[in-house]
Amino acid sequence: MLGIVRVGLYGLLAAATCPTAWGQSQPMVVTLLGTGTPTPRIAHLGPSTLVEAGGKKLVFDVGRGTTIRLEQAGIQLGDVTAVFITHFHSDHTNGIPDLWLTGWLPGLAGARRTPFRIWGPLGIKKLMDGLESAYEGDIAIRTVDQALRREGIAVAAIEFAGESVVFDEGGVAVTAFLVDHGDHIKPAYGYKVEYGKRSVVISGDTRYSENLIKYAKGADLVLHEVATAPAGRREQPEIQRVMAHHTSAAEAGQVFARIGPRLAVFTHLAWSQYPAGEKAAIENVLRDARRTYAGPLEMGEDLMRIVLGETIDVKRFDHQKRSY
Concatenated DSSP letters for 188-235?
A: -EEEEEEETTEEEEE--S-SS-HHHHHHHTT-SEEEEEEEE--GGGTT
Question: Residue 61 belongs to what H/E stretch?
Answer: none
Residue 231 pLDDT > 60:
yes
- Count the neighbouring beta carbons within 10 Å of the beta carbon of residue 124: 22
Question: Which backbone phi and psi does 322 adopt, to 5 degrees?
Answer: 60, 45
Q: Give the model's pLDDT for residue 108.
A: 65
- pLDDT tens column, 268-297: 998 877 776 888 889 999 999 999 999 999
Q: Which residues contact 166 (CB under 8 A, 6 or more apart)?
A: 84, 119, 158, 160, 174, 175, 176
Q: How far is it, in rounded angstroms, from Cα 222 to Cα 208?
A: 14
Above pLDDT 90, what percent of the chain?
Answer: 79
- Note whether residue 5 is domain-resident: no
- Note whether residue 195 is domain-resident: yes
- The strand order across the sheet containing 164-169 reads 164-169, 172-178, 189-195, 198-202, 221-228, 263-271, 297-299
Q: Give the model's pLDDT for residue 93.
A: 98
Query: Would you place residue 146 in the very low, low, confident or very high pLDDT band (cuts 50, 70, 90)?
Result: very high
- Note whether residue 228 is domain-resident: yes
Residue 28 pLDDT > 50:
yes
Query: Would you place residue 244 in the very low, low, confident or very high pLDDT band (cuts 50, 70, 90)?
Result: confident
- The CATH number given to whatever domain includes residue 117 is 3.60.15.10
- Note whether residue 21 is domain-resident: no
* Closest by Cα among 36, 66, 32, 60 to 268: 36
Q: How far is it, in rounded angstroms, from Cα 100 to Cα 219?
A: 31
Question: Which backbone phi and psi does 249 adopt, to 5 degrees?
Answer: -65, -40
Domain count, the chain: 1
The predicted model gives 9-37 an average pLDDT of 62
Query: Would you place residue 18 in the very low, low, confident or very high pLDDT band (cuts 50, 70, 90)?
Result: very low
* Total count of residues recorded for the chain: 324
Residue type, 133: S
Q: How far is it, in rounded angstroms, from Cα 72 to Cα 319?
A: 10
Q: Give the model's pLDDT for residue 25.
A: 63
Host domain of residue 280: 30-315
Question: Which backbone phi and psi does 129 adopt, to 5 degrees?
Answer: -60, -40
Question: Higher model confidence: residue 103 or residue 22?
Answer: 103
Q: How far is it, in rounded angstroms, from Cα 324 to Cα 322?
A: 7
Q: How far is it, in rounded angstroms, from Cα 309 to Cα 306?
A: 10
Question: Higher model confidence: residue 266 or residue 230?
Answer: 266
The predicted model gives 166-172 an average pLDDT of 98
Q: Which residues contact 38 (CB under 8 A, 6 or more apart)?
A: 89, 90, 91
- Note whether residue 12 is domain-resident: no
β-strand pairing of 28-34 with 305-308: antiparallel
Q: Give the model's pLDDT for residue 237.
A: 81
Residue type, 78: G
Q: Tell me the β-bridge partners of 199.
A: 194
Query: Would you place residue 236 in the very low, low, confident or very high pLDDT band (cuts 50, 70, 90)?
Result: confident
- Note whether residue 224 is domain-resident: yes
- Note whether residue 283 is domain-resident: yes
- pLDDT tens column, 204-226: 999 999 999 999 999 999 999 99
Sign of the CA dihedral running 211, 217, 219, 225: positive
- DSSP assigned state of 305: E
- pLDDT tens column, 34-85: 999 999 999 999 999 999 999 999 999 999 999 999 999 999 999 999 999 9
Question: Higher model confidence: residue 275 or residue 298?
Answer: 298
Q: Give the model's pLDDT for residue 109.
A: 66
Asked if 234 and 243 touch (Cβ cutoff 8 Å), the reply is yes
- Note whether residue 190 is domain-resident: yes
